[in-house]
Structure 1
């Protein structure tokens, strides 16, 4: 071989070696560069990617805002604090057109992709490029779900890439049906409603299972812009969007042209405007706060999302609010009385109405359960019940005169004295000296024990002045004590909560009805009812009379007219009213028989409308013994003589 040929071959070989080295090096460099770029991309796209919960149940509560729903005694919604949720719905509980409406407008190929619809994504990108802006989205239902539950509202390519990755992962973790159910129950659909069931109730006052085609189309159109398309605020826009959904359903083959046409001719209409017909939430504010307090005490580890079913009757609550508000508006300023509270319950302890003040918007302090005030003479029935239990009779007589009990000298309202009177008349006239004498005779410990047995939970010091209502109590516990009288001596704890569930329908608490516990014998309770009826018929409580309907009750006024009370009951309801001022300043001589009794009467008259007139549990009339007749006649003549003599004194 010629030398130049050998050199040429050698140079070619060297050239091939160098070229192979360059190619290999280039490939290696490209791989390294791709790795570096891939790492950079990975870090850029996924460094803050949230982890997908391993437990599917966690997705149901992810980013769920606290929401508490208050229900009335019949399970109807009174008020909602926070977003509106409802018990979850299952896909197999819904008519086909409801599911198809969402699939047609949001993700027609939902059952054919694996979380990301590449075809829809490319189509959206091209459409947006042609329009020079965002006019079409490519997000699937799965991508929307992970965006709402796990990601931030950021609108960027990076966020979209994260959506895709999480959507793929979620599709490997859950079935298509599970994803669809999760989406339908967690998607925001405007007006504070989260989930299909909440939206159906909010807009059409029905279950999602009962939605018509037109109604389903309207709700399915809301995810695009829930606030702008809210049918309660912008019905024309909501109907236009619903029409788009119907056309999409026809294009997908879910409905026929005839069905679409019929739905367009009869479009969906919300059944009510935004809470126009509902009572103001302020009406239920005090009861709502108290319900939450009770639930937190009973269920300290309860979730934030709760549905609380109460004993509240919405009509009675509205009546109570009206009675307190209107009479204070009319008379409060002249009487220098700034506040009032009312609580009403049935004899079995169920609270039907609770008004904790004049205006919940101005003050959320609940004077029915948080304020402890002196009940004055409205405490005296407890003293007299202890006396009856100790063996005294309503016809037992005492002398109403100035007395001294170990340095304590109680005085009567007005400063006058009536001489010899029976216990019955002493309670009717609310005579302080007689109540003090009775308590001293039977022992103040008996009075305190009776108070606690009847339902007073506040401290009752064993001091003589307790007999005149100087120990502070709450309106609710005093009403509970009167309910024991109304209930033939059986004490039933006042209660507000019937049931507590979470928003997925799991029962966390349920009230169990009980027979109560006997606090006093039925005969004692019935005797007290008879005495309290006499107070309303002939005594200090005449402003509470309700025509032919039997009423038992007692007035109460604390020192210097700081607190005024009326506590009373019919065969159907027990109610108590307090009137006074938060700063404990005196009113303009308001007594329990004036403004409180009028508020009580206004409420109870409305509450009793349409109810049959029934007798109270007072004992049947009995013939007096000859001795009792002689005593009553003697004391009556003696009292008249004292009064005549007093009139002759200059």
Structure 2
């Protein structure tokens, strides 16, 4: 159907999209913020130039420095690596001594002395007392467990202290770590070779050098040790090798030396004392000066408290009760005796031993104290102040076992001149018993008589010699017993001439007097020299019934850790010298010396004793030697330079010292009678042709010597007169002896 009218628009939406694609709107343009203008540098051109130059220098130094540092580190690393490869196992470094030690035990097996480089055996740092370990760390290296062998903080602190005290930066405090100190103890791995060094002291001095180059080597060695060993192993090496005074190397030896106990048993005060020794072991050793050692230990205790190794109460207790020496260390007993044993023993087991040796000896510490106290009891009271007169004492048993020895007035010594064993002095009248021993052995009686009168002899090459008595008086006819009791000189010379000087020398020598004996008649008056030890041993032969003895001190020698003895005693009773009957009668004669003769000051209350005084020309030497049934003792007095004594004879101060010593020696002991025989008239008939040493000696013309019944006088029994000596000063027995000996 058609429509009419105007045309209507179509029912569609109008096209709204433009024919051409419109361009996108431009993004807003960002405007770049202008930089603030750089402020001009302060200062002028010169200042800016200096700063620029310094900046350049710094960049150059840093560029070179870090490269050089890296090279240095590489070199140090190589050096440390090389040293590392040369280090042995830690156990091989524990004992660094060049020689061994000698520990001396008394007769009861108690330690009384040490010699050599004492080493108590290897100990582990973990096994010693924690107080000792902590004291060492607190004193020597508080950062021990933190550093790698060297401690830059410690070095800086040491330099600061040195500069503040006005020293050079490397003078004084060194800042060495405990590891570095251990490296020094190891001498940086250079072992001691005797052929390469003048002495061990020179070697040790070289090891302690403190030059800058040495410090560098020490640091490298310490770094290598830290890489090779644990801290405990390093500390163990240190504790075993460090010298702690008194001849003790290592903690165990020092602990035994000073406190008589193991290093594992030390309390805080004792641990502090040992740690305190490390800075100056010889000076601070408690055996040298206990007060100084205790003061140093107090400082160590305070350091331990500051570093919390001790509580307040533990530190207070350690300060209130400082460490004390053991009884053996305090006494320093038998120094002269120990030196004598060391010098008389085999060198390779004593003076130059490379082993650790244990020697059991004859020393009796009770008797040793008695000898020292008796000596000082007299000398401290009787000698004038400032006197340099010396004295020596020896006490022994009848078999020659030496029980005590004092070699001088200063008793706590080591290595000092021993006047008991090293001083050869004229014996004076103390030699006379051997003259009368010879006579008694040949059949004389102590009741036989001799005339004490003016008497002269012509000595070939010397002219006339006229001996005199000490009082310059003559006493007429006297018994042999009286002559010995009062120590008359002329009768002794006559008896010696009658029996023969050669035989007197032989008897004395057989009794143990080894020194050269005088050839002339002055032999009878003690013109020969001997030592106190020899003379005391010879008197022991009289006490034991006429047999010789060899004085000895060593009983048994063992190596540490072994049960079998390497050697035994080297002395004791030897061959018979005179008959027992002669020895017993001689003992009776010598008992008269003490009872009522020149040795009366030696008399012991309630106890029999026998002895003989001796005073040499111009009183340069004064002796008293004697014995009881239990012990023999000898005393000598004199000056080391042979200056004459003033107002001293053998019957004076020496006899008093002998009395004081033997009173103390026999304290608490029952009184035992002397083995002696008192002669009774009639004097025994002596057969023709007496014997000595298994040989017959017959008087001139076949005449023997015989005593008679004697007559009672105010001097006692008198026997037959002693035959007068021949004009040629040799008795008939001497002539026979010469023929027998081929002389």
Q: TM-score, normalised by structure 2?
A: 0.63
2:448 to 370, 379, 396: 396
- 1:24 match: none
1:294 to 307, 324, 344: 344
Kindly indicate whether the alpha-carbon contact (under 8 Å) linking 1:105 and 1:221 is maintained by their aligned counterparts in 2. Answer: no
Query: 2:483 aligned with 1:426, yes or no?
Result: yes
- 2:96 match: 62
Question: After the TM superposition, which of the residue ranges 214-223 and 604-613 deviates more from structure 2?
Answer: 214-223
Query: 2:574 aligned with 1:517, yes or no?
Result: yes
Query: 2:515 aligned with 1:478, yes or no?
Result: no
Shift of 1:525: 2.2
Q: Per-residue displacement from partner, 1:22-57 (whole Å, max 9, x unpaired)?
A: xxxxxxxxxxx99x9579936995799799586989
556 and 105 in structure 1: CA distance in 2 versus 1, 3 angstrom threshold: closer
- 1:256 match: none
Distance (whole Å) between structure 1 residues aligned to residue 569 and residue 528 of structure 2: 32
- 1:609 match: 667
Query: 2:218 aligned with 1:159, yes or no?
Result: yes
2:710 to 626, 631, 644: 631
Q: Per-residue displacement from partner, 1:538-581 (whole Å, max 9, x unpaired)?
A: 21111110111111101112223332211111223211122233
2:657 to 592, 599, 613: 599
- 2:618 match: 560
Kindly indicate whether the alpha-carbon contact (under 8 Å) linking 2:591 and 2:609 is maintained by their aligned counterparts in 1. Answer: yes
- 1:121 match: 148
Kindly indicate whether the alpha-carbon contact (under 8 Å) linking 1:340 and 1:579 is maintained by their aligned counterparts in 2. Answer: yes
Distance (whole Å) between structure 2 residues aligned to residue 370 and residue 131 of structure 1: 51
Distance (whole Å) between structure 2 residues aligned to residue 601 and residue 608 of structure 1: 11
Shift of 1:328: 3.8
149 and 501 in structure 1: CA distance in 2 versus 1, 3 angstrom threshold: farther
Task: Say what the alpha-carbon RMSD is for the aligned residues.
Answer: 5.4
Matches within 5 A, 1:232-381: 232-242=294-304, 272-273=323-324, 286-287=336-337, 289-295=339-345, 301-303=352-354, 310-325=361-376, 327-333=378-384, 338-359=389-410, 364-381=416-433
1:534 to 555, 571, 592: 592
1:41 to 40, 52, 75: 75
Distance (whole Å) between structure 2 residues aligned to residue 483 and residue 132 of structure 1: 68
592 and 277 in structure 1: CA distance in 2 versus 1, 3 angstrom threshold: same
Question: After the TM superposition, which of the residue ranges 59-68 and 574-583 deviates more from structure 2?
Answer: 59-68
Question: After the TM superposition, which of the residue ranges 586-595 and 194-203 deviates more from structure 2?
Answer: 194-203
Distance (whole Å) between structure 2 residues aligned to residue 398 and residue 358 of structure 1: 41
Distance (whole Å) between structure 2 residues aligned to residue 207 and residue 396 of structure 1: 66
Kindly indicate whether the alpha-carbon contact (under 8 Å) linking 2:486 and 2:597 is maintained by their aligned counterparts in 1. Answer: yes
- 2:730 match: none
Distance (whole Å) between structure 1 residues aligned to residue 623 and residue 98 of structure 2: 45
Q: Per-residue displacement from partner, 1:166-197 (whole Å, max 9, x unpaired)?
A: 555678xxxx9987764442245688854232
Query: 2:245 aligned with 1:186, yes or no?
Result: no
1:87 to 89, 105, 120: 120
Shift of 1:439: 1.5
451 and 401 in structure 1: CA distance in 2 versus 1, 3 angstrom threshold: same
2:253 to 178, 191, 198: 198
- 2:507 match: 450
Kindly indicate whether the alpha-carbon contact (under 8 Å) linking 1:308 and 1:500 is maintained by their aligned counterparts in 2. Answer: yes
Which runs of 5 or more residues in structure 1 are unaligned?
A: 1-32, 108-115, 249-259, 640-650
546 and 337 in structure 1: CA distance in 2 versus 1, 3 angstrom threshold: farther
Q: TM-score, normalised by structure 1?
A: 0.71
Question: After the TM superposition, which of the residue ranges 333-342 and 592-601 deviates more from structure 2?
Answer: 333-342
Question: After the TM superposition, which of the residue ranges 476-485 and 601-610 deviates more from structure 2?
Answer: 601-610
Distance (whole Å) between structure 1 residues aligned to residue 277 and residue 425 of structure 2: 53
Query: 2:435 aligned with 1:383, yes or no?
Result: yes
Question: After the TM superposition, which of the residue ranges 47-56 and 412-421 deviates more from structure 2?
Answer: 47-56
Distance (whole Å) between structure 2 residues aligned to residue 536 and residue 471 of structure 1: 24
442 and 198 in structure 1: CA distance in 2 versus 1, 3 angstrom threshold: same
Q: Please give the secondary structure, in 2, of the residue aligned with 1:393.
A: coil
Q: Please give the secondary structure, in 2, of the residue aligned with 1:121.
A: coil
Q: Please give the secondary structure, in 1, of the residue aligned with 2:591.
A: helix
Pair member with larger Rg: 2
Which runs of 5 or more residues in structure 2 are unaligned?
A: 1-66, 162-172, 189-206, 286-291, 460-464, 685-706, 719-743
Matches within 5 A, 1:103-142: 121=148
47 and 207 in structure 1: CA distance in 2 versus 1, 3 angstrom threshold: closer
Matches within 5 A, 1:7-26: none
Shift of 1:382: 0.6
90 and 631 in structure 1: CA distance in 2 versus 1, 3 angstrom threshold: same
1:590 to 619, 643, 648: 648
491 and 509 in structure 1: CA distance in 2 versus 1, 3 angstrom threshold: farther
Q: Please give the secondary structure, in 1, of the residue aligned with 2:405.
A: strand
267 and 417 in structure 1: CA distance in 2 versus 1, 3 angstrom threshold: closer
Kindly indicate whether the alpha-carbon contact (under 8 Å) linking 1:231 and 1:238 is maintained by their aligned counterparts in 2. Answer: no
555 and 477 in structure 1: CA distance in 2 versus 1, 3 angstrom threshold: same
Distance (whole Å) between structure 2 residues aligned to residue 561 and residue 474 of structure 1: 17
Higher share of residues assigned helix:
1
- 1:207 match: 262
Question: After the TM superposition, which of the residue ranges 437-446 and 624-633 deviates more from structure 2?
Answer: 624-633
Shift of 1:537: 0.7
Q: Please give the secondary structure, in 1, of the residue aligned with 2:624.
A: strand
Distance (whole Å) between structure 1 residues aligned to residue 458 and residue 278 of structure 2: 80
Kindly indicate whether the alpha-carbon contact (under 8 Å) linking 2:424 and 2:531 is maintained by their aligned counterparts in 1. Answer: yes
Q: Per-residue displacement from partner, 1:507-537 (whole Å, max 9, x unpaired)?
A: 9965426652133233332222121111111
Distance (whole Å) between structure 1 residues aligned to residue 547 and residue 450 of structure 2: 30
The number of aligned residues is 580
Distance (whole Å) between structure 1 residues aligned to residue 126 and residue 148 of structure 2: 32
Kindly indicate whether the alpha-carbon contact (under 8 Å) linking 2:638 and 2:645 is maintained by their aligned counterparts in 1. Answer: yes
Distance (whole Å) between structure 2 residues aligned to residue 634 and residue 532 of structure 1: 21
Shift of 1:61: 4.7
Shift of 1:632: 4.0
Shift of 1:479: 1.0
Kindly indicate whether the alpha-carbon contact (under 8 Å) linking 2:615 and 2:650 is maintained by their aligned counterparts in 1. Answer: yes
Q: Per-residue displacement from partner, 1:408-463 (whole Å, max 9, x unpaired)?
A: 43322223233332222221122222222222222111111111111101011332
89 and 426 in structure 1: CA distance in 2 versus 1, 3 angstrom threshold: same
Distance (whole Å) between structure 2 residues aligned to residue 67 and residue 222 of structure 1: 23
